[in-house]
Amino acid sequence: MSLVEGGRLERRLVVKSPLPSRLTTRRLARARNIADLRRLAQQRLPRAIFDFIDGGSEDEVTLRENQDAFRRVRFSPKTLVDVSNVNTKIDLLGQTADLPVIVGPTGASGFVWPNGDLALARAAAKAGIPFALSTSASVSIEEIAAMSAGRRWFQCYIFKQREFTMRLIERALRSEYDALVVTVDFPVGGNRERDHRNDFSVPFRYSPRNIFDFAVHPGWASTILQHGIPKLRNLDGFTASNDAMTVASSVGRNYDASFSWDDLKQIRDSWPGKLIVKGIVRPDDADKIVALGADALVVSNHGGRQLDGGIATLDALPAVSVAVNQRITVLVDGGIRRGSDVVKAIALGANAVLLGRASLYGLCAGGEAGAQKAIDIVRSEMVRTMQLCGIPDVRSIGPDALSQRTSDSGMGTRGERTILAAY
């Protein structure tokens, strides 16, 4: 399939993502951290849309625990170390990344900013880090490849229609994506109660509640009126309608709950590039991923959006890292809101982290400029943390950067001995 077959690609994206207003630009300039970007996102978006990206499943225990796990970890800084120049570059799956950070896959980004996935991809490229495109993106695999210059990964869900899944993978291969990210922790959709309370249902209902909510958020509403309801471009041909309002919440119903290790092995055998398996929290599963021949795994619980009550990813990370024993790359996501969280994750066994809500809050607040702001915040916080901890090179971050106290860590002595054994 040609990227520009019949001129369709150019016509599809003749309407570009809007630039932020002067007021939005001023507000972005005043944002000091990811929490500030989250507040800007909450102000700009209708509640139903904000809760869709911000919320988790059921009581949102896992959603909170992902962040709380980082708060329990303490640094043990070294002093009298020359940290006037700090190196943040790493080798990530055979290529240099300017930060140990990836902009992770976040579906339906077109809800919050027109062509939002393209804005995220371009922000990642400017930062010198990879971008992972979601299956549920509002910009297609081919469009991202044609219109963004950075490293591209494609995140793939497994649908009951296996032929459709394989076509997605073939499209990513033809478009020369660097890596395939297969999500394995989502056999069925979670119980997202915020969506139900907000009348965010399938098919989408314009209830008095959400009509009023849209009306009092004119900035967001005007972009939807101007650019139209976003389409999930990678799902063209999958359903009769691929309107984001309709498909995003229902697509979990179409995932293949029978997908197994043998099926993942078939994908490994057919995909010639880097394979990343996302959604691992158990050491025994991690060992199987290594044996399968994957290049990397992501310690992930889907940001607490599906199973509630699951282990926090940072708490799961040390044991997974030991099981992998440096044989493949270990990534982690979930709860990362500070540059210091990146340092903590690396100290506990990760090679790099994926940003999810952090970069998405920036996109919500101000499009590509907001996404860049989010990455810049994480970068500056990470560099400052390394300097204050006496760590001049990201490649030298290890468990000795952390306090060995166990009373507050939530990991216990066994967890700390485990991660120490990995180094």
Question: Would you name the residues annotated as active-site residues?
Answer: 302
Per DSSP, helices labelled H in 139-260 are 141-147, 162-174, 193-197, 208-215, 218-227, 244-247
Kind of pairing, strands 296-299 and 274-280? parallel
The whole-angstrom separation of Cα 103 and Cα 110 is 16
C-alpha to C-alpha distances, 62 to 87, 100, 278, 307, 308, nearest whole angstrom: 33, 24, 17, 8, 5
Residue 78 DSSP symbol: -
The residues facing 132 across adjacent strands are 153
- State CA 56 to chain mean position distance: 14
The whole-angstrom separation of Cα 184 and Cα 16 is 33
Residue 345 DSSP symbol: H
Kindly give, in sequence order, each residue whose CB lies less than 8 Å from that of residue 380, ignoring residues fewer than 6 positions away. 339
The helix/strand count (H/E) of the chain reads as 18, 10
b/e sequence 84-119, b meaning 16+ C-beta within 10 Å: eeeebebebbeeebebbbbbbbbbbbbbbbbbbbbb
Number of CB atoms found within 10 A of residue 61's CB: 16
Nearest to 279 by CA among 6, 62, 59, 58: 62
Supply the Cα-derived Rg of the chain in whole angstroms: 21
- State CA 185 to chain mean position distance: 14
